[in-house]
Amino acid sequence: MSSEAKEIICIICPVGCRMTAVRDKNSPSGFLVSENQCKKGEAYGIEELTNPTRVLTTTVKINPGIYNRLPVRINGSIPKNKIFPCMKVINKVEVKAPIKIGSVIIENILNTGCDLIASRSMKAS
Amino acid sequence: MKENSIVNRYDVVVIGGGPAGLAAAIEAKKHGAKSVCVIERDKELGGILQQCIHNGFGLHIFKEDLTGPEYAERFIIELMESGITCKLDTMVLDISEDLDLQILNTYDGFMHIKAEAIVLAMGCRERTREAVNIPGTRPAGVFTAGTAQRFLNMEGYLVGKKIMMLGTGDIGLIMARRLTLEGAEVRAVLARRGYPGGLMRNVAQCLHDYDIPLMLRHTIVKIIGKERIEGVLVARTDEERKPIPGSEELYECDTLLLSLGLIPENELSKGAGVKLDPATGGPVVNESMETSVKGIFACGNVVHVHDLVDYVTDESRRAGKSAAYFVRKKLKENGLLIKTEPGKGIKYIVPHLIRVDNLNKSLQLFMRVREVYPNSRLIVKADNEVIKKSRKMHMTPGEMDNIRIDPKILQQRKPAILSVQVKREEE
Ligand SMILES: Cc1cc2nc3c(=O)[nH]c(=O)nc-3n(C[C@H](O)[C@H](O)[C@H](O)COP(=O)(O)OP(=O)(O)OC[C@H]3O[C@@H](n4cnc5c(N)ncnc54)[C@H](O)[C@@H]3O)c2cc1C
Ligand code: SF4
């Protein structure tokens, strides 16, 4: 296993700490993260080395809404390599207006354990 | 056009229904303004947030990671429940110094509104190609990143398939990812300087994640194409951000997006005689977010460009509360007045003036640095005495910094000038 330090930019908050993360047998977590300004950065650094995840936001077709597209999001983080497969699934759906914010559009999308939900309410046109 | 003879009167009129206007209106009502009216030219409230469908909003205010529309909806619901009048599809045409507004819409026609206090919350607009003067033809396919964002996220229209981007503002970085997700190829993102204009987290999660090349110290020297753009000539830039002759290279593309930053939208403010700060492009304001014209307040991107909507909300709450206090004659106009002064390395400070008697908790100064400063300190001086030092791991012009000052120190020392400067750790 590589013990090389990896430079990671923390994306958890806009401070955007430039951290270094490295595997370290002597630390309780098995990793050593430095230059992070808070605890969340440490968790993110470890995750980036082991199982990088992201929040996906996009839009779906809505009919007959006041706009053509409804903004949607996945209500959690999904593995990075699931992003494009999820986009494929999402681009096939179409929803009906009116819709309420938080409505589930696709349940447990691609078995990620997360749902695709509406990011806003939208009236019918 | 019919002239409506009815003159409406409100305690507080807020111009613009984006996050700044929403927060200001809600807070004005909470603090005792009897009648509050928000005027918005768009068909719904929320401002630019409705097209910012990505997450990253609300981490400070709600301790949650929200998308732009989710953030907006929380405030829209609160506004609707608090008995505030809302005029949508309505344009404010002019404001006079005695707080008379001329407005226009299709349902009232042309109308005057009289306000006891006004809050300017018109946001900002994007810099356009004309602002940088790229030579070449003027074909179709050149958009600002924000226009492309609205087209894609609200209308469902993808601006192109093979995209070059000039500028590294946050909107541009976010659009690079968004277009990639929708199947377009973003060939490269160019920055004339040696550092990106937007937040590092956006460089990481929008460019690095999708292997989109970030070309620092490059610019576009020519646009090529007749009807539709066919390509751009890219050149390296020198220390002064000028293109280096002989370094040009052709990049084919069907679309050029511009993400060259934002400018506060102050045509109305100028008309009302509000004094502007050339460094921010927005009004000169005091601790209560009041402009040089008595009774006219301002907040959000109309004052200075914010990269975090949470700060917009904080600042706008202050403006709304102060507007209500002004109407209720509770705002203190006299007493100790301190001027803030950007020192070495600092581009601007907001607020510009501080009436110490109106401060209750801590005073927060917002600022931007002029260049990238790794491992440095912000040094605050009351006249010539250092009153605070704050260590910063990394400061860049792309990220707004802030520093808190205890009002008691100001009351004790009574300085005329409060200045902030940057000092590198080794200096
Ligand atoms: C295209 C674009 C994308 C952005 N993306 C992000 C982002 O991803 N993340 C982020 O944190 N920040 C982003 N910003 C910055 C963002 O603008 C601020 O965070 C925040 O939205 C500012 O709020 P505001 O209320 O000051 O301005 P805005 O949200 O711009 O609201 C101003 C409102 O005033 C209205 N208005 C203007 N003039 C008049 C008039 N004369 N009469 C009536 N109404 C008027 C406008 O229609 C608008 O609704 C973006 C800015 C732009 C321009
Ligand atoms: S380490 Fe903490 S402060 Fe730094 S970017 Fe991550 S979440 Fe923000």
Q: Going from the N-terminus, what domains does chain A have, and what CATH number goes with each?
A: 6-50 (no CATH), 57-118 (3.10.530.10)
Domains B1-126+262-331 and B128-260 share a fold: yes
Rounded distance, CA B121 to CA B302, Å? 6
Contact check, Cβ <8 Å, A14/B43: no
User: Using a 6 Å cutoff on CB, does residue B141 contact ligand 1?
Assistant: no
Side-chain half-sphere CA neighbours of B380 within 13 A:
23
The ranges of chain B with pLDDT < 50 are 1-2, 4-5
Give the residue-averaged pLDDT of A66-93. Answer: 97
Architecture (CATH level 2) of domain B1-126+262-331:
3-Layer(bba) Sandwich (3.50)
Chain B contacts to A (CB-CB under 8 A)? 43-44, 50, 53-56, 59, 65, 67-70, 72-73, 152-156, 178, 181-182, 199-201, 203-205, 208-209, 307-308, 393-394, 399
Contact B44, B50 (CB under 8 A): yes
pLDDT digits (tens, 9 = 90+) for B152-200: 999 999 999 999 999 999 999 999 999 999 999 999 999 999 988 888 8
Q: CATH assignment of B335-427, given 1.10.3470, 2.30.29, 2.60.40, 2.60.120? A: 2.60.40
Predicted pLDDT at B375: 85
Write down the residue that tokens 């000039």 correspond to.
B166
Predicted pLDDT at B68: 98
Element (H, E) at B44: none
| Type of residue at B240 | E
DSSP per-residue string spanning A2-31: ----EEEE--SSTT--EEEEEE-TTSTTSE
Chain A contacts to B (CB-CB under 8 A)? 9-11, 13-14, 16-18, 35, 37, 54-55, 57-59, 61, 66-69, 71, 73, 80, 83-84, 87, 101, 119-121
Q: Which residues pair with A114 in a beta bridge?
A: none
Predicted pLDDT at B7: 59
Site from A6, A8, A11, A55 to mutate, B interface, most B CB atoms within 10 angstroms: A11
Instruction: Determine the distance in angstroms separating the CA of B66 from the nearest CA of chain A, rounded to an integer.
Output: 9
Predicted pLDDT at A1: 45
pLDDT digits (tens, 9 = 90+) for A2-60: 557 888 999 887 678 889 999 988 888 889 999 898 899 999 999 999 999 999 999 99
Burial of B79 (0-12, 13-18, 19+ CB in 10 A): buried
Predicted pLDDT at B360: 86
- Residues of chain A with pLDDT > 90: what percent? 77
Domains of chain B by residue range: 1-126+262-331, 128-260, 335-427
DSSP per-residue string spanning A24-66: -TTSTTSEEEES-SSHHHHHHHHHHHH--EE--EEEEEEESBS
The end-to-end CA distance of chain A, in Å, is 57
Instruction: Name the pLDDT band for A77 (thresholds 50, 70, 90).
Output: very high
DSSP secondary-structure letter at B7?
A: P
Q: Which atom of ligand 1 is nearest to the CA of B309?
A: 19
Predicted pLDDT at B131: 58
Query: Which residues does a 6 A CB cutoff place in the pocket of ligand 2?
Result: A 10, 12-13, 15-17, 36-38, 40-41
Predicted pLDDT at B1: 45
Predicted pLDDT at A3: 59
Q: What is the reported pTM? A: 0.93
Contact B49, B69 (CB under 8 A): yes
Contact check, Cβ <8 Å, B209/A68: no
**CATH of segment(s) B128-260:** 3.50.50.60
- Return the best residue to mutate from A15, A46, A47, A48 for the ligand 2 pocket (most ligand atoms within 8 A of CB): A15
Residue whose Cα lies nearest atom 1 of ligand 2: it is: A41
Rounded distance, CA B278 to CA A93, Å? 48
- Residues of chain B with pLDDT > 90: what percent? 85
Q: Which atom of ligand 2 is nearest to the CA of A36?
A: 1
